[in-house]
Amino acid sequence: MFKNYVLTAWRHMASNPLFSFINIFGLAVGLTSCILILLFVRGELSHDKQLVDADRIVRLHSAYISSDNPPFRTVRAAGRMMEALRDYASEQVAAGVRLLQIGPTVIVGDKVFNETFVFADQSFFEVFDLPFAHGSSESSFNNPLDLLVSEEIAVKYFGRTDVVGELLTVCCMDGQQLEVKITGVLENLPATSHLDIDFLVVMQPSMFDFAPNLLNTWTSVNTYTYFKLKQGFSAADFKERVWYWTDHESPFTQMDMVEGNPTEQIQPNVMAVTDLYLNARRDAGNMGDFKALGDLRMVYAFSGVALLILIVASINFMNLSTARASQRAREVALRKVLGASRRQVALQFLGEAVTITFFALLLALVVVEMTLPLYNEAIDRELVFSLASELPLLALLVCVAIGVGLLSGSYPAVYLSRFLPARILKSNQSGDESGSQRIRAALVVFQFAISIGLGICTAVIYSQTLYARSMDVGYDVSNKLVLHGLSSSEVSNKKQVIVDQLIRIPGVESVVLSSEVPSQDNENNTGFRLLDIQDDGAANDDIILNYYNAGYGFFESYKINIVAGRGFDKAYGSDEVIPVAEGSETAGRANIVINESAARQLGFSSSQQAVGKVLRADVFRAGLQHLTIIGVAEDVYFRSLKFGIRASVFFNHPATLREATITYNTTDLPGLLDQIETTWKAIFPLTPISHEFVADMVNAQYQEEEQQAELFAAFSLLAVIIACLGLYGLASFTAEQRTREIGIRKVLGARVEDIVRLLVWQFSRPVLVANLIAWPTAWYLVSGWLESFEYRIGSSEILMQCVIAGTLSLLIAWITVASRAIKVARANPIEALRYE
């Protein structure tokens, strides 16, 4: 019996190549997308699961909330928090560790390499039990400056992994080159680890006494702070303790810039490491994390798309199977006459559907294998797919295939098994009923609604991305090259030297210094108080403002207009911040420029009004200062459109300037770069040059969104292709079924155009109805998505995308159907009418 089933199924497939192709190909494309998305989702969900005791390791994040500013969030914490919380919540905490990233250079012969060193408390291995390739946590990580490297780094510098005892020359600690001995080698961390550690150094807190903002601080957030909790405690338990501490026991309760409960303004968060990759995006807001983070929304969105594509492919199968039922009606009738029960017939068709799905699955596996490298490149991941070693995945895929087979086969099975043999055999009719035609039409509607909806979502994502890119950021990005890392110890003392040399290069228009350049995603926050008495005689409160440092010529170079007062200008004597001696009672004096948002936030009714007013602030590395506002700069999107404009203060504090912006007016870029590099190397032989074009930096901000948009577009396109294949199949079938009618019409004088119009209209209706469903659904979805953007496209733009998607869907449907209909309409009618 089974053999007979297989045989009839096979012959049906072989004798209907078009339908078999559409079925198998459609399902294969659907399954391929599904597997690719599944791999992506699995990869996104697998982050940091490999850590020992991963479920007990948590990280402390910080957030500063104020009523008149966007919140400032970071996944780092202040340096003194770790010890305080570890001791306070000792019943929950087993161990804690702080990580600090430092960027020195490693020198080998005459080559220098920029590297990132992670300095960690000696308790590191109590929290992270990372595997060693050589050495052990007991023997290799005990003394200050004990250095562990990853296998990758060992191979990079020594060509082998067994490098314990080797020396590396590092520049520089306190201006001194150091010889550091490698004490152990760590296995490379997997791509799914949020930690990014090439060099791991035992940190002695006193090493950083020169920079108290790094470790010895409650307010400056620079360390990644982890805890390992004791058995039985969760991140939520610990967070509760942290909040209690913040409100009742912490030094924040004593600080005068904090009013009411500290947690109204300072909101630490505790997150399990296994949640970091997908959930830390919000907390990471400003300064990012060790590595790029994932996005839970994308995981949901792509899972949804995978499901939709599968549904579209399954609908093809259902439609074509029932549409072709007429061809199989006699077979079913005969089987029933010969004694088959309805259940047996239904099982036969279900079996066929599952078999076809398995064919499709095999094809899909091959395609996945072939396209995975391309896909990895497109999504910037390192997904692997090897069925043999992943039985659970294989089992899952088999289940998916059976599920899809059953889903696609269910309706045809129920429908076909219902045929009454007597009627079919006697009347010589197809058994195709108008009811099943209606269901097919409904399925086509559903299919196209999905495709159109995906199309609209894609179009909106694209136009939002384009819109964000086309918005005027307010500053000039053209012809600008940034040199990074002027804070490194070799460079920092000779900043002016390099500036003076660079300006002499032909084609260089200006060289300006700053702590950040526009588009760099960084913020610095501190409290400012307006030294002005309010009407009722009360002193002003501190408000938290962001600050940057900008050297002379910065505003001119970036063409940021000064709307009131003036910018920093040497002609007025010195605008620079001069640090006051430690312990000094008198405040220093300096000039500042603020932006329009800051002027508003400080309560000035106009920019002009702000000029000449004085703010008081504890300035980083300069002590208490009285700051005179000499000018107000126009608001620009200094960071990114994503974050809006933040009220900001600009100091001119030479010690903190670490970026040089070179504005050039030459088209010979290779020549220019060559000269800049030569100049740099002559002055700083120990520090590799690091440069970037501002235009590239701005573009990079949108790279992630663009990548997502492209991926989304690719998968939507697949859904549309599958839906069109189905429509083509259905149109050919209908044309075949209406051959006689078409023949009659032609004999009566209908032209080819009349026939094509007839068929095209038949298939336009479901597509039109699909639009009615797709528009509001897509509208609802994209509106939700757009909410997350500070600046977004309006509803007229969305409507336009709907109209475009709708028109396109109709056009595609017309072309699909017409291509088939023309062929049928051209056929000689007598063929159709000759026989009964």
Partner 1 sequence: MLKLHNLSKVYRTDEVETVALNNVNIEIEAGEFVAIMGPSGCGKSTLLNVIGMLDSPSSGEYIFRDESVGQYSESRLGDIRKRSIGFIFQSFNLIDELSVEENIELALLYHDIPVKERNARVAAVMDKVGIAHRAKHMPSQLSGGQQQRVAVARAVVGKQSLILADEPTGNLDSAHGQEVMSMLQQLNEEGTTIVMVTHSPSHSDYARRIINLLDGHVLTENLRAVG
Supply the minimum distance, in Å, between the C-beta of residue 21 and partner 1.
24
Nearest CB to partner 1, comparing residues 431 and 743: 743
Q: What are the backbone dihedrals phi and psi of residue 107, each rounded to the nearest 5 degrees, phi first? A: -110, 125
Supply the minimum distance, in Å, between the C-beta of residue 735 and partner 1.
15
Residues 691 and 481: their CA atoms lie apart, in Å, by 7
Q: How far is CA 830 from CA 523, 745, 749, 821, in A?
A: 80, 11, 13, 17
Supply the minimum distance, in Å, between the C-beta of residue 641 and partner 1.
58
Nearest to 809 by CA among 716, 732, 709, 729: 716
Nearest CB to partner 1, comparing residues 111 and 834: 834
Residues 469 and 463: their CA atoms lie apart, in Å, by 10
Q: Is the peptide bond before 172 cis (omega within 30 degrees of 0)?
A: yes
Nearest CB to partner 1, comparing residues 3 and 834: 834
Residues 588 and 619: their CA atoms lie apart, in Å, by 10
Supply the minimum distance, in Å, between the C-beta of residue 741 and partner 1.
5
Nearest CB to partner 1, comparing residues 431 and 518: 431
CB 203 within 8 A of CB 120: yes
CB 637 within 8 A of CB 473: yes
Positions that interact with partner 1 (CB under 8 A): 740-741, 743-751, 754, 828-830, 833-834, 836
CA angle 438, 440, 446 (to 5 degrees): 105
Supply the minimum distance, in Å, between the C-beta of residue 320 and partner 1.
22
Place of tokens 């600009």: 650
Supply the minimum distance, in Å, between the C-beta of residue 440 and partner 1.
16
Nearest CB to partner 1, comparing residues 343 and 826: 826
Nearest CB to partner 1, comparing residues 420 and 533: 420
- Element (DSSP H or E) covering residue 784: helix 752-786
Residues 149 and 188: their CA atoms lie apart, in Å, by 9
Nearest CB to partner 1, comparing residues 7 and 747: 747
Nearest to 96 by CA among 57, 137, 150: 57
Supply the minimum distance, in Å, between the C-beta of residue 326 and partner 1.
13
Q: Which amino acid is at 248?
A: H
Residues 630 and 764: their CA atoms lie apart, in Å, by 67
> What region, left, alpha or beta, does residue 305 occupy, with left being phi > 0 and alpha being psi -120 to 50 degrees?
alpha
Residues 344 and 2: their CA atoms lie apart, in Å, by 11
Burial code (b: 16+ CB inside 10 Å, e: under 16) for 723-747 equals bbbbbbbbbbbbbbbbbeebbebbe
Supply the minimum distance, in Å, between the C-beta of residue 829 and partner 1.
6
CB 368 within 8 A of CB 306: no
Quickly count: other Cβ atoms within 10 Å of residue 195's Cβ. Answer: 20
Residues contacting residue 20 through CB under 8 Å, at least 6 positions apart: 12, 13, 14, 356
Q: How far is CA 609 from CA 509, 543, 546, 561, 604, in A?
A: 34, 18, 20, 17, 6
Nearest CB to partner 1, comparing residues 747 and 811: 747
Supply the minimum distance, in Å, between the C-beta of residue 400 and partner 1.
40
Supply the minimum distance, in Å, between the C-beta of residue 420 and partner 1.
17
Nearest CB to partner 1, comparing residues 2 and 835: 835
Supply the minimum distance, in Å, between the C-beta of residue 740 and partner 1.
7
Nearest CB to partner 1, comparing residues 209 and 831: 831
Sort 556 into a burial class: Cβ within 10 Å, 0-12 / 13-18 / 19+. middle
Supply the minimum distance, in Å, between the C-beta of residue 437 and partner 1.
11
Q: Is 773 helix (H, G, I), strand (E, B) or coil?
A: helix
Quickly count: other Cβ atoms within 10 Å of residue 101's Cβ. Answer: 15
Nearest CB to partner 1, comparing residues 485 and 829: 829
- Element (DSSP H or E) covering residue 525: strand 525-530
| Dihedral sign of CA atoms 482, 487, 489, 492 in order | positive
Nearest to 753 by CA among 821, 827, 828, 833: 821
Supply the minimum distance, in Å, between the C-beta of residue 392 and partner 1.
53
Q: Helices 325-337 and 2-15 sit at what angle, rounded to 10 degrees?
A: 160
DSSP 8-state secondary structure symbol assigned to residue 246? H
Supply the minimum distance, in Å, between the C-beta of residue 746 and partner 1.
8
Nearest CB to partner 1, comparing residues 434 and 493: 434
Nearest CB to partner 1, comparing residues 752 and 804: 752
Nearest CB to partner 1, comparing residues 639 and 746: 746
Would you give the distance in Å from CA 644 to the centre of its chain? 19
Quickly count: other Cβ atoms within 10 Å of residue 667's Cβ. Answer: 9
Supply the minimum distance, in Å, between the C-beta of residue 763 and partner 1.
16
Residues 615 and 624: their CA atoms lie apart, in Å, by 11
Nearest CB to partner 1, comparing residues 600 and 745: 745
Nearest to 52 by CA among 193, 172, 205: 193
Would you give the distance in Å from CA 598 to the centre of its chain? 31
Supply the minimum distance, in Å, between the C-beta of residue 738 and partner 1.
9
Nearest CB to partner 1, comparing residues 438 and 751: 751
Nearest CB to partner 1, comparing residues 372 and 833: 833
Supply the minimum distance, in Å, between the C-beta of residue 748 and partner 1.
5
